[in-house]
Amino acid sequence: MKITYLTLILFLISITLVQGIQVVKESPQEIRLNEIIEIEIHISNPSNTEKEFTIEEVLPQNIEVIKPTKVFTKRNDGLTVNYYEWITKVSPNKIKTITYKIKPLSLGEYTLGSTQVIDNSNLETSESNQITFNVNCISNNICDENENSITCSEDCSAGSSDGICDYKADGICDPDCEEEPDCKKSKIKVIYFIIPFILIILIILLLWLFRKKDFKPIKKINPVQPQKTTPKDPLSGI
């Protein structure tokens, strides 16, 4: 009996999940700097009635909005964030796609959090997947200040001075690492050279000091002047 009830509950849950709206977000995985990226949000309405949704998409920092140009602002975890909002209707058993365009202003990885989709008929909220994409450099054969071996592998070789520590034993001492297998060896070599050098200098210094002490100039002793004696008159005592 218990098994029957459990099966029924699981069946109802599965119906609810299937009946729930699906929100899927997608974008290209990488673009070049100064390019515009288009993001698509697909909303499916599996029910037999038309539904109206409010869609909220929080935008990442360091971007320029391209289309639509109108953004809203709110406080989120102490930060002021920009977001898009759309109110749209989706026909029964249909999928609607909403697109927007932004222009990332810096190199590196961007993350777009989940899109919030609220069913206005019952205020149930659905969330999309998160997505990430990379903004790569425009190669000019120079490892520029804002570039590194991750964002611009064409210009910045691994192990170079680019602000990223490439910790690996590849025969290159990366100057960005505090410790690195290839840097340790060279440090040990320097120590082996410096310590004997300092010891030799100390020995020479000590020898010089001792020598200086042993050869102190002898104080001049005034020679004893012979006392002048007046010759006695041999007849004086008589």
Stretch that binds Ca ion, among 58-66, 97-105, 154-162, 188-196 (CB under 5 A): 154-162
Number of residues lying near Ca ion (CB under 5 A): 8
Interface with Ca ion includes 34 (CB under 5 A)? no
The least distance separating Ca ion from the CB of residue 207, rounded to whole angstroms, comes to 47
> Which pair of structure tokens corresponds to residue 187?
């440090």
Binding mask 79-118 for Ca ion (x = CB under 5 A): ----------------------------------------
Question: Whole-angstrom Cα distance, residue 152 to residue 87?
Answer: 40
Pick left, alpha or beta for residue 159 (phi over 0 → left; psi -120 to 50 → alpha; otherwise beta): left
Interface with Ca ion includes 154 (CB under 5 A)? no
Interface with Ca ion includes 144 (CB under 5 A)? yes
Q: Which of 14, 140, 146, 186 binds Ca ion (CB under 5 A)?
A: 140
- Judged on CB neighbours under 10 Å (0-12, 13-18, 19+), 55 is buried
Question: Whole-angstrom Cα distance, residue 228 to residue 230?
Answer: 7
Output the CA torsion sign for 162, 163, 164, 170: positive
The least distance separating Ca ion from the CB of residue 148, rounded to whole angstroms, comes to 7
Amino acid identity for residue 116 in this structure: Q
Interface with Ca ion includes 180 (CB under 5 A)? no
The least distance separating Ca ion from the CB of residue 136, rounded to whole angstroms, comes to 11
Stretch that binds Ca ion, among 55-63, 119-127, 144-152, 227-235 (CB under 5 A): 144-152
Q: Which of 44, 176, 182, 183 binds Ca ion (CB under 5 A)?
A: 176
How far is the CA of 142 from the CAs of 132, 163, 177, in angstroms? 27, 15, 21
Stretch that binds Ca ion, among 36-44, 57-65, 149-157, 229-237 (CB under 5 A): 149-157
- Taking the least distance from each CB to Ca ion, the nearer of 129 and 140 is 140
Amino acid identity for residue 50 in this structure: E
Annotate 90-125 with b (16+ C-beta within 10 A) or e (fewer). beeeeebebebebebeebbebebbbbbbbbeeeeee
- Taking the least distance from each CB to Ca ion, the nearer of 130 and 140 is 140
Judged by the rule CB under 5 A, the positions of this chain that interact with Ca ion are 140, 142, 144, 155, 162, 164, 174, 176
